Structure 1
Amino acid sequence: MRFTNSYIKSRDPVEATNFLRRDNRLAALLPAVERMASLQQDCAAVLPAMFSHCEVLAFEQGVLLLSAPNTALAAKLKQQTPKLQEALLKRGWQINNIKLRVQMMKAADIKPEPVSLSLSPAAVEAFDTLSQTLEQNKQNAPLIAALKNMVQKRRERPDY
């Protein structure tokens, strides 16, 4: 579970805990969830730059299992494990070993739909004038053809 990402920050944590408390079986998970969330926050406090992309996967029998989205970040995190372990011990976590796993935590961010750029009528006229005034030679031929094609499409469909 990821506790520090923006898509979870947008949700109200009170709603999640209320949901877990409604059902007896789910309510039994609440202490474990709160413990993992607390451990994630402590790790993020110790290594804030790295834990914006990493997360705590498990903590059992003194072994902390962390995930990293790629091998480069995992290598950097591996170098910081002694510092992390020492800081977590000072915060009361009994951690004997830290293991890392490279795995993608979430789907790739959805990129916004590309915005088509519109040209003003004056710009379309300027390109049309340019296509007519360019010297007619072998080097300029593809440019002139492209300009004329663009002007024609913009005049047919101004939203193009």
Structure 2
Amino acid sequence: MGFSFTNRKHAPQEATDFLRGNARLAALLPAVQRMAKLQQDCWEVLPSAFKACEIFAFDGGELTLAVPNTAVAAKLKQQVPNMLVNLNGKGWQINNIRFRVQIAKGIAPVRPSGEGLKLSEAAVDSFDEMSKKLEPTAANEPLIAAMQRLVARRRT
């Protein structure tokens, strides 16, 4: 008999069903539901700017938001008074909002592919010409050497 999802003994469960089914984890369910509600309320308060942000922590009246970069953090800092009014109006007791820059979960780190950059012959010629035209000063020596190595690798 082959494997199939229809003849499995245990069907997939929702996360909340899983938490309810385990006595030790069931205590986490109210906290998970509370954080999900806070996340939803934040999206409603700042729908356009907040979509890339997530709740990082909420403790002692201080809300910490994970933001993808400093530019988003700077824009959201301008909105803190408005956010505090709106979120407190929804029943949250928030005294302060902080921001923590974090890389988004769905973005994989970029790793070298192992392949060199594909340069046209004209580009290689340009690097060769530039390495010969640069003034051979102490400051330029590392750059000249790097360009000469690049040209030598591409022409072999």
**TM-score normalised by structure 1 residue count:** 0.58
* Structure 1 stretches lacking a partner, 5+ long: 1-13, 111-160
- 1:10-159 map, 5 Å: 15-108=14-107
**Structural RMSD (CA):** 1.6
How far is 1:109 from its partner?
A: 6.2
Q: Using the alignment, how far apart are the partners of 2:89 and 2:82 within structure 1?
A: 11
Structure 1 segments, 4+ long, off by >3 Å, are none
Q: Using the alignment, how far apart are the partners of 1:66 and 1:98 within structure 2?
A: 7
What SS does the corresponding residue of 1:49 show, helix, strand or coil?
Answer: helix
- The residue identity in structure 1 corresponding to 2:30 is P
Q: Using the alignment, how far apart are the partners of 2:49 and 2:20 within structure 1?
A: 32
Percent identity among equivalent residues? 60
* Number of equivalenced pairs: 97
How far is 1:105 from its partner?
A: 2.6
Q: Using the alignment, how far apart are the partners of 2:17 and 2:73 within structure 1?
A: 35
What SS does the corresponding residue of 1:50 show, helix, strand or coil?
Answer: helix
Q: Using the alignment, how far apart are the partners of 1:109 and 1:45 within structure 2?
A: 28
* Structure 2 stretches lacking a partner, 5+ long: 1-12, 110-156
**TM-score normalised by structure 2 residue count:** 0.59
